Amino acid sequence: MLDAAGRSEQYLDTNGVTLRTIVEGDGPLVILLHGFPRCWYLWRHQIDPLKAAGFRVAVPDQRGYGPSSRPERIEDYNILELAADVIGLAEALGQEKFYLVGHDWGCIVAWYTALLYPHRLHCVMGLSVPNQPIGPAAVNPPGLDELFWYIRYFQNPGIAEKEFEADIDRTFRSFNGARGEGAPTGPKQREATFLGDGPIANKLLPTITEEDHAYYVASFTESGFRGPINWYRNMGRIPTLTPWLEGAQIQVPAYFLAGSDDPVLKFTPNSFDRQDRNFADLRGKQLIDGAGHWVQEEKADAVNAAITSFLTSMREEVGG
């Protein structure tokens, strides 16, 4: 079983699954949610600064990832289950209300947790993925096939998993060898594979060490890719599962942060500028200059300052 890289871990039961969770520190609870293709280790640079700021930090491997539960059914990875996992995690740690931060898919889960359970959050902070209006257009925007073609590629069970699991070291060198841009975007032929047949980068991102790379490889060697990719296979169900949320704003205090070079922003035009309209109480939005998709790995100090500043100000406001 994959080790916790020297961190304190707990296996917590929540919403019918068990999530391996890094739990450290004392004080009000903050939960950090990773996205794809990452695991709890994505937040390794944020744990100690948040502890030093007086927070108890919980960082799960979400369902489908690492040694956490990996349900077989595709539908078990829908947004309602993912949000309920977060609430159950807080309950397992004895907390009624908590602070929530998410990145990439973890950001989507954080936004929906805030929409579905506003009474359970002091505030929410999202990294990379803007909060979009709820409705069919949010999960099937114009140009999806051309720009985010990989989402279509992920829909057929077994295809992407086979490609990625054939050589997980190569897969992660592809993910981490470009300039931190994360998921590939831009026009591509429908019959093309995700990684392609050509050479991959022979040099990792400057912020990804060989040790970091090896940890991600080990995590996905244990879990495989089926569970994580099943999250994408439920994207189209979001509007039908949450029809009452169409047009809803997030009501709890919120903050949005992204890298200035994150392609998610580049292919959701004007989304950063328009964030204000999707929140009732947006306390701030920020671009980290020179950062790509993996902003908390690429610009850890700037991200740590932003997260601790927002959460500390909210703790002072709510008194806990």
* Contact present, 28 and 10 (Cβ < 8 Å): no
76 annotated active-site: no
Closest of 309, 314, 292 to residue 127, by C-alpha: 292
Got the DSSP string for 141-207? -TTHHHHSHHHHHTTSTTHHHHHHHT-HHHHHHHHHHSSS--S--S---TT--SS-SS---SS--TT
Residue 87 tokens read as: 């609430």
Closest of 93, 106, 101, 104 to residue 121, by C-alpha: 101
Residue tagged active-site, from 34, 103, 213, 293:
293
104 annotated active-site: yes
Query: What is residue 25's DSSP assignment?
Result: -
* Contact present, 271 and 132 (Cβ < 8 Å): yes
Among all chains, which residue has been given the structure tokens 């019918």?
Answer: 16
Residue tagged active-site, from 61, 104, 212, 261:
104
- H or E element, residue 59: strand 56-60
Euclidean distance between CA atoms 192 and 197, whole angstroms: 9
Alpha-helix residue ranges (DSSP H) falling in the chain: 47-52, 79-92, 105-116, 136-139, 144-147, 149-153, 159-165, 168-177, 210-223, 226-232, 238-241, 263-266, 295-298, 300-318
Residue 114 tokens read as: 């805030």
Among all chains, which residue has been given the structure tokens 């948040």?
Answer: 50
Euclidean distance between CA atoms 235 and 208, whole angstroms: 29
List residues with catalytic annotation.
104, 293
